[in-house]
Structure 1
């Protein structure tokens, strides 16, 4: 069973601010998967999450070529991008599976829809869609008790 919330975001700045709020709430073991087309706002949201987790702005980069990028902040934050991976087997060489199992920090994964089985059973799934101009629709779905509590605190 899952819990779902939907929200309209009117600008990249609003998307970033929502990410900041989420970053302040993240705890070690949290897993957040992001889904959305190119330009849907995933990167704006991730940069906000990193800021909320107290990661220095200069450290935040796109992990497209590294696949997984670690950040040091209030908690360890691991940012992964699955766009260039073809299947679950490709994750073995990236170290990604060790991060998910280790749970010493929070994990943010862009393009989770490319390899949905990369998500643990309990996770927060965020889907961003274009809704005209700069407006985006964010759908947040929580799977499990901790993700549901996180979603309730983040988007009451």
Structure 2
């Protein structure tokens, strides 16, 4: 597993880091996002979306209340938020596994640590943590595919 770390001093830098990573992603990639409330998970996904060809970062919104958004780009981006889920939640029972495992899309799961199986199966685990008001530390762990 390869680990890379970046320091971001602004929202725009966090978006740009996501965009640069999004440019390199291949269909079938599963990404687990881990971080506390306000750590920049959705902001980072805005950048991933731009890198995948979503034309306007404002389209990318937190799916906390709807659980799941789909964005169209060069590769579809499936964006999940498991904040309201618990370890005992069976994602198969609600059909999320079919989307998360789609080989033709990129799946990004916020709060992936709520359901450990998702974090363990992710190709990339990204941890975001706050540094002051606008700063963020972004750690990316890549597993071989």
TM-score (norm 1): 0.84
CA contact 1:67–1:80 (8 Å) conserved in 2 = yes
Structure 2, unaligned stretches of length 5 or more?
none
CA contact 2:19–2:49 (8 Å) conserved in 1 = yes
CA distance in 2, matches of 1:70, 1:77: 6
Structure 1, unaligned stretches of length 5 or more?
147-156
Q: Which moved more, 1:74-83 or 1:92-101?
A: 92-101
Query: How much has 1:60 moved relative to structure 2?
Result: 2.1
Aligned to 2:130: 130
CA contact 2:5–2:138 (8 Å) conserved in 1 = yes
Aligned to 1:99: 99
CA distance in 2, matches of 1:88, 1:124: 23
TM-score (norm 2): 0.90
Q: Which moved more, 1:32-41 or 1:129-138?
A: 129-138
More helix by share: 1
CA distance in 2, matches of 1:109, 1:103: 15
> For 1:1-156, what aligned pairs fall within 5 Å after superposition?
2-57=1-56, 59-119=59-119, 121-143=121-143, 145-146=144-145
Moved >3 Å (runs of 4+)? 119-122
CA contact 1:28–1:104 (8 Å) conserved in 2 = yes
CA distance in 1, matches of 2:38, 2:22: 21
Query: How much has 1:104 moved relative to structure 2?
Result: 1.3
Q: How many residue pairs were aligned?
A: 144
Superposition RMSD in Å: 1.7
Query: How much has 1:113 moved relative to structure 2?
Result: 1.2
Map Cα deviations across residues 126-145 of structure 1 (whole Å, 9 max, x no partner). 001112231111111112x2
